[in-house]
Structure formats: C-alpha cells, structure tokens
C-alpha cells in the first residue's frame, strides 16, 4: 500500500480477496478495474476504454464496441493482500458470464453511476449476487459528472435494491468541483489534486465540518440498530470508535445485512484507494466463507478452504487460446500441482494438469501449484466444460454448477462456401464450449443450423467471432424468439397402453396420467400416487423420463412445453414384456396425447424496457410502445441537470423489439436511449396468437 495513505484503522485478516466488479453497462466497471491495477502497480500506464487500451477489455470485439463482453481475471497486491479480480460484462445479453463469475467469487464491488443511480442491469446483477450470497460494497462512480448526487444514488440503492446503505464518506465538491471525500470513520479529508496519483490527507474542511459530524452520527445510529456490539458502545460512550465501527461494518457486510457505500471518480483517479482499503477491510477472505458443499452418490459433503484438504475446484470459464485450451478454476480446497491427475467428477473421467497459470487478462505466468482460495487457469484439461468439478480422484464430489440461462433468441447460420460446413460445425462447437449460454441445433424441417443465445447483441458477437476468429463467411437468417407452450386446461385419467410385439421380447406398458397447469409458468413437476406396486419404482422413474422427453416439442408449434404438473395415478405391467424402455416410451406418448387433448397456449418472452427520452418525444415513444404490444409500467422525470428528460419503463414482447434502437433514434432525433432485461414469459393473446410462429428457423 502507498505509504502516504496508510489506513491504520482497517485491520482485516491477511490473505486473498476474490472479488468481481459488477454494474450496469457504462457505469465505469472497467475504468475502476484499470485504476485498481495502476494503483497497485500491476500496470504502469492507465488504460482507457475510449482509447481501446484497457487490460481487461483485450479482445478486439470489446475494443471495437467499447463494452466488456467476456469476464476477465486479473490479480494485484494491496497492503499485503492478493486481490483476484474479475471484471464482468454489464450488458444484459452477457449476464451468463456474470452468473458464472459470481459462482466462484467471495465478494464484489457494485459500481453505480452517480447520475443514474441504480439502473436496470445494476438491479439484475445485484439479484444474481443475492442468489449466491456474495457480500458486496458499493462504489458510486462518476461523482465529477454534471448532475452527480451521492444522496440520490444512495436513495436509489435503498429503494430499488431493498438493502440498508451505510455511507462512510462525504464528497468534497460537486460535479466538476469534486476533489475528494471526507472519511467519516476517522473524520479526515482525502483530496486528490490534478496530476496526483494518491490522496493528500488533511483536516475536514470547515465548511463541511457540521455536515460531516451529522453524517457520522447518522452512520453510528444506523449501525447501532443493526449490530449488538456497536449498540452497546453507542449507549455507553459519546460516540462509537472507528475500530468498533469497522468491525461492525465488516460483520454486517459478511452477513448481507447492509452494504458499505463509498464514492469517487475512477476516471479522474479519485476515491479508488479508499475503495481498495474497503475491499480488504470488509469483504471476506476464503477462510471467512463457509466450507463449499458438494455431493457424491447422493451423499452431501463439505470441503474447507484448507490447502491440506482433498482437492476440489470448479471450472467457471473455458477459453480456446492460441497456445491451447485453458480452463479457469476456482480452487476451493486442497492443493494442485503441475502434472497431477484430477477427476472430472460429473463426467467421471480423469484429466492430467499440464500447466498452471496465474492470469492477468490475456497474459499468463506459469506457477508450480495452486492452493485453496486461488483463481488460476490450467492447460491440459481437454474436455471439462464450464460448471464442471475437478477433484482428487480418491475424494470425489460434485459442486453445484452455476445456474444456466435458457436462450431466448435464435438465428440460422449457414456457410456461404460449399466446403465450409465442417469448419462451421467445428467453430460452433468451440463457441458453445467457451460460452454455455449459446446453443446449436439442427432444424429438423429445414436442415438449417440454428444458433440460439441471450439477445441480439449476444448473437451478433457470436457471428462476428465466426467471421473474425475462424475466417468463415456465413449467411445469417432473421432473428426469431424462443416461444414456449403451456397447459391452460389439462386432462384427468388419460389411459395409454403401449404394446409392441414383433418377434422376440415384446414391449408392454400401461399408464394413467393426470395433467394440470401450474401457477409457475416456468417449471415441470412429476409425481406418482400409484400404490400396491402396480408400477414398480424403477418404472416410475422411466415414466418421468418419458414425460420429460415429450416436453421438448409441444402440439401448437413444436416449442418446448413448460408450466405443468403430471401425476401418474395408475398403471399395469406384464411379467415378461415390461421394461424401463417400454414405460419411458409410454410416458412420452401418453403425455403427447394428453397435451393434444387438453387446451394449450403459446408463451412468448418479455423484456422490461427502460427508455430515456426528452419530454417533447414522450408521446411518440408511448405510442410506439403501444403499437409494439408494450405495457407501460411507469414514467418519471429525471432529476438533476438532465431535467426535461423522462424515464419510461414498459414490458414489451421480445419479438417486438427487433430494430427498436433504430426506430427510437429516429423518433427522438438521436436523443433517446433504452436498456432492456428479461422479464419472463407471458401468454400470447389477441391477434398475435392467431399467427402462431413455428420453431425458430
């Protein structure tokens, strides 16, 4: 740590911090990462997003588009602590990259724009972090922007994220005049002069003294309400000491009961050093996190973050580098060395570790070993995919993989060259290996290859990679959204007999099914109420497998079926001809017949759209959203210097958003902007239902 900014009141445990940088697109995640790398001495020149010189956005696609597309891992040292940092994408189409990163992180820094506050994707990534129980600190960035307001941003954190913000700083100066912060724990000023990399420490400015004391007292009161030790000191003394406050803030952060809020301007190198100190002070080291849980052959297991424990790691990213296939690991327990043999537990296949690499974005340094808490890349693992568990062969277990999102949009891709079909198949296999949120299938009706992903931009990037990285000239079809089908009215007591006798062993299975809709339109439940052994246990599992097979294609248009409950109520067997295969076939054909007999409805994916437009263009925007079958859920004036601007939120069918960006620019003369995020599925009604689309071509 820099000697002129020693924060001696922060006394965290030494060790590793594995953290991610999370935010909405354009909130400044990558700039924060670059400043962290510069201040810690990991790089000797500040990288800039607009110049295409950043360390973590190293891919040509990222530099051309000016956004983060791929999660990038880097490491640095601060105050004797190793910080393993993952810069994650902010665009909603790449939220699966965020999901895989969060699965292996111990903490995170959530970056918010000081003007916009909590934006739609900020909220989405916050909820993703909630799912994995990842402790966070918040950094309100861009305090130097016109309209920046810390209090407004903090209020949006409180209201939209439903969390208690604990603000530990007071800004010095506003907008262009922002020069530093008051540290409310030690009641001192930290200021950054132009051209200076580190902060100058001094007394609180007289003009802010009263406000700083008021905010310090407010911080003490809030912490005392949440933390018993702080409450005890608050009642016994005139004020809570900095040491007690720090310990309480750490406890509250680790338990997820509150979030520490700091502020600054990463672009102007202001506020990043206190942020690093907060990362070390408040976010957990690997030993602070509960032992990782897994299972093997149905039995639960735990592994502590101990280098001497049996080895266990999760593959969270795969990258086909020029030097070979790299698998990125979070080591949860044990130690791994070059040349070790490990077990891919899910595939029950052994792999040999060729090389172990410390990662610095696109650069790597070889090391002999990695231990519990490390994030490294390994070469030599040939088949393990993202989400796979690598473990000691003598102590197998499977860790819970990241939640995989279902694709919502598809395009057909075909090679223009007559001899490029095999090359295209190989390139697509490599893409889906690196990015599990992409999927590839052959359309059974047209024979076309269909590429599916999370949004238009996601597919644009995938196609661009086919052209750039693989040198393929491909023709791309029109985007189609991923529809689903659901049960509106089910059937009871549907009897199906599967009998097949064509010489040799026959097939016999008799099943009776009840099929009914579920309140949750995104799910499937199977249960059996058969008694007396009329359908043996192993055959019940086969019936369920057959029903799941039938969900792949519904009767309306061949779309996947969801939102139903199937109950096996009765059945019968034959002493010789019944088998698991016969009951699986019966389950599949019985459910297909039940779906045809019941009433089905088409479901379409929705998007929550946030449109920012000038007030004089609101009418046209609202009319256009209505024409696109959108349902407006709210509108509000944007405060601050962007007065005269309205923010409209609406829920719109995803199919209606193709080309929306171009139409919005024309309707607002280039002054409008929008963001969107998935909002689930809804039933297609009215005229739209009359033109049911078939499966995506």
DSSP string of 519-576, one letter each residue: SSSS-EEEEE---TTSS-HHHHHHHHHHHHHHTTS-TTTS--EESEEEEEEEEE--TT
d(CA 302, CA 292): 6
Q: Model confidence over 215-272: pLDDT tens digits?
A: 999 999 999 999 999 999 988 888 899 999 999 999 999 999 999 999 999 999 999 9
* Residue 693, pLDDT above cutoff 70: no
> What was the pLDDT predicted at 675?
80
**Res 324: pLDDT:** 79
E-only strand ranges, 244-348: 259-263, 292-296, 299-303, 312-321, 324-333, 335-337, 341-344
- pLDDT at 1 > cutoff 50: no
In this prediction, residues 7-11 reach a mean pLDDT of 35
Q: Is the domain 485-597 a CATH 3.40.50.2300 member? A: no
CATH 3.30.70.240 fits 603-690, yes or no: yes
Q: Does domain 409-477 fall into CATH 3.30.930.10?
A: no
Q: Confidence class of residue 456 from pLDDT cuts 50, 70 and 90?
A: confident
Q: What is the pLDDT averaged over residues 22-26? A: 84
Lowest-confidence pick of 6-10, 42-46, 598-602: 6-10
pLDDT tier at 99, thresholds 50, 70, 90? confident
Check: CATH 3.90.79.10 for 292-399? no
SS3 208: helix
Scanning 103-149, the segments in alpha helix (DSSP H) are 120-131
3-state SS assignment for residue 141? strand
- The token duo for 412 is 């057909």
Report H helices in 333-445. Answer: 421-434
Query: Alpha-carbon distance 118 to 511, whole Å?
Result: 53
Same fold, 3-287 and 409-477: no
Six-digit token string for 110? 């959530």
Closest CA to 405 of 438, 432, 373, 382: 438
The closest of 116, 156, 165, 148 to 264, measured between CA atoms, is 148
Instruction: Work out the number of other CB atoms within 10 angstroms of the CB of residue 17.
Output: 24
Of the listed ranges 68-72, 264-268, 577-581, the least confidently predicted one is 68-72
How large is the average pLDDT for residues 128-154? Answer: 93
Tell me the percentage of the chain whose pLDDT exceeds 90. 47
Contacts of residue 485, Cβ cutoff 8 Å, sequence gap at least 6: 554, 555, 556, 557, 559, 560, 561, 562, 595, 600, 601, 602, 603
* Dist. CA 662–CA 646, nearest whole Å: 19
Domains of the chain: which residue ranges?
Answer: 3-287, 292-399, 409-477, 485-597, 603-690
pLDDT above 70 for 47: no
The domain over range 3-287 is classified in CATH as 3.40.50.300: yes
**Model pLDDT for residues 469-511, shown as the tens digit of each residue:** 888 888 998 888 889 999 999 999 999 999 987 766 789 999 9
Number of neighbours of residue 72 by Cβ within 10 angstroms: 28
Weakest-pLDDT range from 132-136, 207-211, 439-443, 501-505:
501-505
Residue 3 pLDDT level (bands cut at 50, 70, 90): very low
Lowest mean pLDDT across 141-155, 237-251, 562-576, 665-679 = 665-679
Assign 572 a pLDDT band (cuts: 50, 70, 90): very high
Kind of pairing, strands 369-371 and 324-333? unpaired
């Amino acid at each position: 740590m820099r000697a002129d900014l020693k924060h001696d009141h922060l006394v965290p445990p030494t060790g590793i911090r594995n953290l991610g940088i999370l935010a909405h697109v354009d909130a400044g995640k990558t700039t924060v990462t670059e400043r962290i790398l510069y201040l810690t001495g990991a790089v000797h020149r500040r990288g800039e997003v607009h110049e295409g010189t950043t360390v973590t956005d190293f891919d040509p696609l990222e530099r051309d588009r000016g956004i983060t597309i791929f999660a990038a891992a880097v490491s640095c040292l601060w105050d004797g602590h190793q910080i393993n940092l993952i810069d994650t994408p902010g665009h909603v189409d790449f939220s699966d990259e965020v999901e895989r990163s969060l699965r292996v992180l111990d903490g995170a820094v959530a970056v918010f724009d000081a003007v916009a506050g909590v934006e739609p994707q900020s909220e989405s990534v916050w909820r993703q972090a909630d799912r994995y129980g990842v402790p966070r600190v918040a950094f309100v960035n861009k305090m130097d922007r016109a309209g920046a307001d810390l209090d407004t941003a903090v209020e949006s954190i409180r209201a939209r994220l439903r969390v208690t913000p604990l603000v530990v700083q007071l800004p010095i100066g506003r907008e262009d005049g922002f020069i530093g912060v008051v540290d409310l724990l030690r009641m001192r000023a930290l200021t950054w002069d132009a051209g200076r990399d580190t902060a100058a420490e001094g007394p609180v400015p007289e003009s802010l003294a009263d406000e700083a004391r008021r905010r310090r007292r407010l911080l003490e009161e809030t912490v005392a309400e949440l933390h018993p030790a702080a409450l005890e000191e608050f009642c016994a003394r005139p004020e809570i000491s900095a040491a007690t406050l720090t310990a309480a803030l750490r406890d509250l952060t680790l338990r997820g009961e509150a979030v520490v809020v700091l502020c600054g301007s990463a672009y102007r190198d202001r506020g990043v050093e206190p942020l690093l100190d907060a990362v070390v002070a408040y976010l957990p080291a690997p030993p602070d996190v509960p032992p990782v849980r897994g299972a093997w052959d149905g039995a639960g297991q735990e592994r502590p973050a101990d280098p001497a424990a049996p080895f266990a790691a999760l593959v969270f990213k795969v990258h086909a580098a020029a030097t070979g296939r790299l698998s990125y690991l979070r080591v949860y327990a044990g130690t791994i060395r070059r040349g070790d043999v490990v077990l891919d537990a899910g595939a029950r296949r052994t792999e040999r570790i060729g090389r172990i690499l410390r990662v610095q974005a696109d650069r790597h340094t070889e090391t002999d070993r990695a231990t519990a808490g490390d994030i490294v890349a390994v070469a030599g693992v040939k088949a393990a995919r993202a989400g796979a568990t690598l473990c000691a062969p003598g102590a197998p277990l499977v860790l819970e993989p990241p939640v995989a999102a279902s694709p919502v949009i598809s395009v057909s891709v075909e090679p223009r060259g007559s001899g490029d079909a095999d090359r295209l198949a190989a390139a697509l296999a490599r893409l889906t290996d690196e990015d599990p949120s992409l999927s590839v299938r052959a359309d059974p009706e047209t024979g076309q290859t269909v590429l599916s992903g999370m949004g238009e931009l996601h597919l644009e990037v995938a196609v661009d990679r086919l052209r750039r990285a693989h040198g393929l000239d491909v023709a791309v079809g029109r985007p189609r959204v991923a529809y689903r089908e659901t049960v509106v009215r089910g059937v009871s007591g549907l009897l199906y007999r599967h009998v097949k006798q064509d010489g040799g062993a026959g097939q016999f299975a008799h099943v009776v099914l009840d099929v009914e809709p579920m309140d949750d339109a995104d799910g499937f439940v199977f249960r059996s109420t058969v008694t007396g052994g009329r359908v043996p246990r192993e055959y019940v599992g086969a019936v369920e497998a057959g029903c799941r097979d039938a969900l792949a294609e519904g009767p309306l248009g061949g779309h996947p079926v969801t939102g139903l409950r199937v109950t096996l109520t009765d059945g019968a067997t034959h002493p010789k001809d019944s088998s698991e295969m016969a009951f699986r076939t019966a389950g599949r054909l019985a459910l297909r017949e039940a779906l045809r007999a019941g009433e089905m409805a088409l479901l379409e994916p929705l998007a929550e759209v946030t449109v920012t437009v000038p007030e004089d263009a609101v009418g046209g925007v609202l009319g256009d959203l209505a024409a696109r079958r959108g349902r407006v859920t709210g509108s509000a004036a944007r405060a601050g210097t962007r007065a005269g601007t309205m923010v409209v939120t609406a829920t719109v069918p995803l199919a209606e958003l193709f080309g929306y960006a171009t139409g919005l620019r024309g309707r607002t003369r280039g002054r409008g902007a929008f963001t969107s995020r998935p909002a689930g599925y809804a039933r297609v009604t009215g005229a739209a239902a009359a033109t049911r689309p078939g499966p995506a071509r």
